[in-house]
Structure 1
Amino acid sequence: MTLDRRLMAEWLGTFSLLATVVGSGIMAERLAGGNVAVVLLGNTIPTGAILVVLITVFGPISGAHFNPAVTLSFELRRDISPRDAGLYVVAQIFGGLVGVLAAHVMFEHRLIDPSTTARGGIGQWTGEFVATFGLIGTILACLKARPTAVPMAVGLYITAAYWFTSSTSFANPAVTIARGFSNTFAGIAPTDVAAFIAVQLLAAVLATWFFRWMLEDPAHG
């Protein structure tokens, strides 16, 4: 695929992901009657489901990264050039921001509304490390063993990680930046964004190295 089509796929995929994450969070809050567990469930299921759809649809076009941490991993593996990786990240961040705005418009929420939800501390950072490390591992292992399973595996992993990580599994710098602009259930205070991104990128690098060793063909080791 030409670069412009790949970038559009990354933009549109990340746009759709954030519209789903933020939109489902708003809808869940309005319908759950104050039950936070129900809100989280209402946010989790659409997110996992849309990931299966988006990766299936856009995987053949751009690889369906929708995530700078994934793009970084693929760049470290030399599956994408540094120049294209940088452009992917720009498209992802921009797409995520517009996706948040779209969700706000749909639900008649204030258009620009920075989050006040604090998500800091060792527990949250550890949760983000675990979530991102596991996401990268899921992708790389599936690509090695069964590439056609990637959409379902990623969707199921994120669905699970929403519940077993303390941070509810952002695992994505573009998602983290965009959610900083939404003072809704899915939000994160802008002051906490940088730490989340640092942990996510560190986890992506370490996971790439670890799974390169783990999955290496012994005959070529």
Structure 2
Amino acid sequence: MAPQASGLARTVVAEVLGTGFLVAAVVGSGIMASRLSPHDTGLALLENSIATGAALVALILALQPVSASFNPVVTLVEAALGSLAWSAAVVLIAAQVAGGLAGTVVAHLMFGLDAVTFSTHERTGPGLWLAEVVATVGLLLVIFGTTRSGRGDRVAYAVGGYIAAAYWFTSSTSFANPAVTVARTITDSFSGIAPGSAPGFIAAQFVGGLLGFALIRFLFPIAAPADRKVLS
């Protein structure tokens, strides 16, 4: 999902909007699910996962011609693979974090909540950290396995399907995204994560990024021509 548009400004805007809408979908659907299914956590998680997966498909389809990473780990792997200049990667990561935080605030305001409510939902422990490593490695394999084999037109469906499934097969419910993790610290709702728990999740996501990068280089050493885009 390397940036396709000429000019850093358009790419930054796409990443802010994409990450913002993604987080709004995660947090907003979590709030709605907890209100509609207050006594059934499993059903609430199903509602949350379907909404998130569907939103990802739509957002990637819409923004992929400009930029549709929405994830600092994905952006760093793009830079490491030579699809993106490191200087641009730093700017895009800042855009993703800013967009994610804005998405949480907007979701809160839509549901009549305070703009910021720091989460008290502790998520910590080796099992959850391992789950974030697994979730992130899988996400990278899905993204780059699709794009580097010349099937970039299918990546939206692959990513949306993977994330919807990973909500269920990982104990952490598959955050797999540092920007989204940071954004979820400021919501004390169904989707939140306590600020003290976020560093462990983020560290695990970067470990998953390193492992995913190594696997991508081994499995897909040569990118399809459409993936060889460099934004300087």
TM class, shorter-length: over 0.9
In 1: Cα distance, 2:30 partner to 2:186 partner: 14
Structure 1: gaps (5+ residues): none
In 2: Cα distance, 1:98 partner to 1:147 partner: 28
Match of residue 172, structure 1, among 172, 177, 183 = 177
Per the alignment, residue 116 of structure 1 pairs with 120
Per the alignment, residue 87 of structure 1 pairs with 91
In 2: Cα distance, 1:97 partner to 1:194 partner: 16
> Are residues 216 and 82 of structure 1, via their aligned partners in 2, closer, same or farther at CA, if it must alter by over 3 Å?
closer
In 2: Cα distance, 1:77 partner to 1:121 partner: 32
Structure 2: gaps (5+ residues): 1-5, 223-232
Deviation at 1:13, TM superposition (A): 0.3
Residue 144 (structure 1) aligned with residue 148 (structure 2) = yes
Q: Write out aligned runs for 1:43-82 (5 A).
A: 43-62=48-67, 64-82=68-86
Deviation at 1:144, TM superposition (A): 2.5
Q: How many residues align?
A: 216
In 1: Cα distance, 2:65 partner to 2:210 partner: 24
In 2: Cα distance, 1:58 partner to 1:216 partner: 26
> Which residue identity is paired with 1:86?
V
Per-residue CA deviation, residues 4-33 of structure 1 (Å, 9 max, x unaligned), is 010000000001001110000000000013
Q: Write out aligned runs for 1:149-168 (5 A).
A: 149-168=154-173
> Which residue identity is paired with 1:140?
F
Q: Aligned-pair RMSD on alpha carbons? A: 0.8
Identity %: 46
Per-residue CA deviation, residues 26-55 of structure 1 (Å, 9 max, x unaligned), is 000000131000110110001000100111
4+ residue runs over 4 A deviation = none
Deviation at 1:111, TM superposition (A): 1.6
Per the alignment, residue 13 of structure 2 pairs with 8
> Which residue identity is paired with 1:179?
R
SS in structure 1 opposite 2:112? coil
- 1:140 and 1:211 in contact (8 A); partners too: yes
What TM-score do you get using the length of structure 1 for normalisation?
A: 0.96
Deviation at 1:103, TM superposition (A): 0.4
In 2: Cα distance, 1:144 partner to 1:194 partner: 31
Q: Write out aligned runs for 1:192-203 (5 A).
A: 192-203=197-208
Larger relative helix fraction: 1
